[in-house]
Chains A and B, each alone.
Chain A
Amino acid sequence: METEKHHIVPYRVYVYILIALVVMTFMSIGITKINLGAYSVLGAMIFATVKSVLVLTWFMHLKFDQPLLRFMVGFVVLLFFAVIFITFLDYYFR
């Protein structure tokens, strides 16, 4: 529990991340102008993933918290990918 105290993140960092999030939001809109065909979903997913990582690590303090919490989040992400993978066993082989 000691690790989660005494971590004051300077406001500057929060502002940078906020800017990054806003920029990426516009980029994910912008990318819809380019026709990527089947990969357009992939594009949107990449932006969404990067944004969630930023929010989780800094805004939600995962970076400074117990390793257990990082493990939990990682586990959930893996679960999520497994579910997507299995779903595509249907769509890809239909």
Chain B
Amino acid sequence: MQTATHPSNEVSYLDYKGKYKGIFGWIFSTDHKRIGLLYMYSMLVMFVVGVGLGLAMKLELIAPGKTIMDPGTYNAVFTVHGVIMIFMIVIPGLPAVFGNFFLPIMIGAKDVSFPKLNLLSWYFYVAGALLVISSVLFGNGTPDTGWTFYAPYSFKSGTNLLPAIFGAFVLGFSSILTGLNFIVTIHRMRAPGMTWFKMPLFPWSLYGTAWIQLLATPVVGITLVLVALERIFNIGVFDPALGGDPILYQHLFWIYSHPAVYVMILPAMGAISEIIPTFSQKHIFGYRAIIASTLAIAFVGYFVWGHHMFTSGMSGTAQYTFSILTFIVAIPSAIKVFNWISTMHKGSINPEAPFLWAVSFIFVFMIGGFSGLVLGALAANVHVHDTAFVVAHFHFIVFGGVGFAFFGAIHYWFPKMFGRMYDKVWAKVGWAFFTVGFLTLYSPMFYLGMMGMPRRYYDYLPEFHAANILSSLGSWVMTFGLLIVVINLFRSAKNGPIAEMNPWNSKTLEWTVPSPPPLENFDEIPVYGEKDGPYEY
């Protein structure tokens, strides 16, 4: 073993001084680790805005009638909340932050295949975010269509929709480029000896995700362009008055947006598949079954988009086909849950913060998944479609799934990323408040939806009052937990005790490099032998 073959490998990526100084050393850096953090900080900013809007909606709904805003404002608030949370937080989500930071290290590479393209995708992210924000600040009225931009309202609404649509379009490019980069990186840059079936599960999940990003995102891109053309030139693709078909819009939108939910959840599942074996100190159960289910989800996920359209007026044949396909896609998700549980069985469990986030992930993900089956059943869907039940479902899955996995992942990889350990007690306190608050916030919505409270209204009937109060209270508890978590992490990144190289005794490659890793990760590209594997405890 030599020491530092490259002079830049003597210091960590955080201390490395390149061509540019200060902030330029970050926004011009093509280091995958710095780009991962750029994404994380920009997502955090948008997340704060999104959470603020969410809290405002819950405050409005604490009592029937007008509380703090009028109906038009409420429509604008849920639209901007949805666009931010979906397109800027959970879609880039784990791939943009942990994928960028850890994919190369976990497969034993010095960087991704196209580092400059990687930086470009962050630029696209920022540009898209600024465009969406500009639709709020300028023009006549904030968009009020909901994040789905449904036709025909999206070209009839007098509000400032074009920048928002264009922003979502640009954000899509960011996603496509990341996907492309990861596919090539995984095919080309795995360390010698790391065959496909020796690759850790997080990179595997990124691989499945990348194919969806690459193939599905262009569909929403072209759809949004069509909406823009419809608004500007009245071309009549979606406008029934001109012979167009508004249901076609829904098809095109969900052909992307259903696979997009797997862009969100697959990497989350991948991170969970790293955390569970580490904190059980046991080989992952059913390694190949997890890979197969990842690919199956990515594949079948392309064919179920119509379950968002059961009440739209599409044909009966399409309705039951989509219903059946939707039930099929639940199977691979269940396979993963069984594998995680079996991994924990008889393991030596170490209940640190990442593990707590991971098990609560399984819990909320299962509630979300089961409610998805309720929604996927044709007859039940007609009853609960467009009610608070749907809102509960996707928050359990998207916020419960992606959010819990994200927090699990940050608590897991934090010592590697920053070289310091966080305060473990506060981490658990934050988790407890967050989880209790989360359940209090969203569980009542299942009930409210089944009793018939529609979604996307600023007002409701008096009989829904009690459950809404409970839900609003939950939003405050959850935000309190969130604050604890974020403050704890920020403080520890600066002042926490220096972390060991491998504090959790994990077996994947990122734990073999110093914390924080040097610029080029490895002095010498590691070689995987016959007996090496990511989960050999």
Q: A89 to B303, Cβ gap below 8 A? A: no
Is the CB of B255 closer than 8 A to any CB of chain A?
yes
Instruction: List the A side residues contacting B321 at CB < 8 Å.
Output: 86, 89
Report the minimum CB–CB distance from B474 to chain A (whole Å). 39
CA distance A76 to B216 in the complex (A): 11
Instruction: List the B side residues contacting A16 at CB < 8 Å.
Output: none
Known pairs A76-B215, A79-B215; A90 contacts B303 (CB<8 A): no
Instruction: List the A side residues contacting B316 at CB < 8 Å.
Output: 93
Known pairs A86-B321, A87-B251; A93 contacts B315 (CB<8 A): yes
Report the minimum CB–CB distance from A91 to chain B (whole Å). 8
Size class of the A contact interface (CB-based, 8 Å): 10 to 19
Known pairs A86-B321, A87-B251; A94 contacts B315 (CB<8 A): yes
CA distance A93 to B306 in the complex (A): 14
Is the CB of A15 closer than 8 A to any CB of chain B?
no
Q: B255 to A83, Cβ gap below 8 A? A: yes
Size class of the B contact interface (CB-based, 8 Å): 10 to 19
Provide the A52-94 mask, 1 if CB < 8 A to any CB of B, else 0: 0000000000000000000000001001001100110111111
Q: B247 to A90, Cβ gap below 8 A? A: yes
Q: B317 to A82, Cβ gap below 8 A? A: no
Q: B318 to A82, Cβ gap below 8 A? A: no
Contact of A93 among B302, B303, B317 (CB under 8 A): B317
Q: B302 to A89, Cβ gap below 8 A? A: no
Give residues of chain B (293-331) contacting chain A, Cβ–Cβ below 8 Å: 302-303, 306, 314-318, 321
Residue among A76, A86, A90, A94 having the largest count of chain B Cβ atoms under 10 Å:
A90
Q: A90 to B314, Cβ gap below 8 A? A: yes
Instruction: List the B side residues contacting A86 at CB < 8 Å.
Output: 303, 306, 318, 321
Q: A94 to B215, Cβ gap below 8 A? A: no
Report the minimum CB–CB distance from B179 to chain A (whole Å). 13
Provide the B313-353 mask, 1 if CB < 8 A to any CB of A, else 0: 01111100100000000000000000000000000000000
Instruction: List the B side residues contacting A93 at CB < 8 Å.
Output: 315-318
Report the minimum CB–CB distance from B24 to chain A (whole Å). 36
Report the minimum CB–CB distance from B208 to chain A (whole Å). 14
CA distance A94 to B318 in the complex (A): 9
Contact of B318 among A76, A79, A83, A89 (CB under 8 A): A89
Q: B317 to A79, Cβ gap below 8 A? A: no
Instruction: List the B side residues contacting A83 at CB < 8 Å.
Output: 255, 302-303
Q: Specify the chain B residue showing the minimal Cβ separation from A76.
A: B215
CA distance A93 to B247 in the complex (A): 14
Known pairs A76-B215, A83-B255; A90 contacts B318 (CB<8 A): yes
Q: A82 to B315, Cβ gap below 8 A? A: no
Q: A94 to B303, Cβ gap below 8 A? A: no
Q: B251 to A82, Cβ gap below 8 A? A: no
Q: Specify the chain B residue showing the minimal Cβ separation from A82.
A: B303
Instruction: List the A side residues contacting B318 at CB < 8 Å.
Output: 86, 89-90, 93
Residue among A76, A82, A87 having the largest count of chain B Cβ atoms under 10 Å:
A87
CA distance A90 to B322 in the complex (A): 10
CA distance A91 to B314 in the complex (A): 8
Report the minimum CB–CB distance from A69 to chain B (whole Å). 10
CA distance A76 to B298 in the complex (A): 13
Q: A90 to B302, Cβ gap below 8 A? A: no
Q: A90 to B215, Cβ gap below 8 A? A: no
Residue among B306, B316, B318 having the largest count of chain A Cβ atoms under 10 Å:
B318
CA distance A73 to B326 in the complex (A): 26
Report the minimum CB–CB distance from A71 to chain B (whole Å). 12
Residue among A76, A83, A86, A92 having the largest count of chain B Cβ atoms under 10 Å:
A86
CA distance A89 to B303 in the complex (A): 12
Q: Specify the chain A residue showing the minimal Cβ separation from B183.
A: A72
Report the minimum CB–CB distance from A61 to chain B (whole Å). 15
Report the minimum CB–CB distance from A76 to chain B (whole Å). 6
Q: Specify the chain A residue showing the minimal Cβ separation from B317.
A: A93
CA distance A94 to B247 in the complex (A): 12
Q: B255 to A90, Cβ gap below 8 A? A: no
CA distance A82 to B304 in the complex (A): 12
CA distance A89 to B316 in the complex (A): 9
CA distance A91 to B306 in the complex (A): 13
The 10 closest A-B pairs by CB, nearest first: A90-B318, A93-B315, A93-B317, A90-B314, A89-B318, A94-B315, A90-B315, A89-B317, A89-B321, A87-B251
Interchain residue pairs with CB less than 8 A apart (17): A79-B215, A79-B302, A83-B255, A86-B306, A86-B318, A87-B251, A87-B255, A89-B315, A89-B318, A89-B321, A90-B247, A90-B251, A90-B314, A90-B317, A93-B315, A93-B316, A94-B315
Question: A-contacting residues of B (Cβ < 8 Å)?
Answer: 215, 247, 251, 255, 302-303, 306, 314-318, 321
Other A-B pairs, 5, CB within 8 Å; known A83-B255, A91-B315: A82-B302, A82-B303, A83-B302, A86-B318, A89-B321
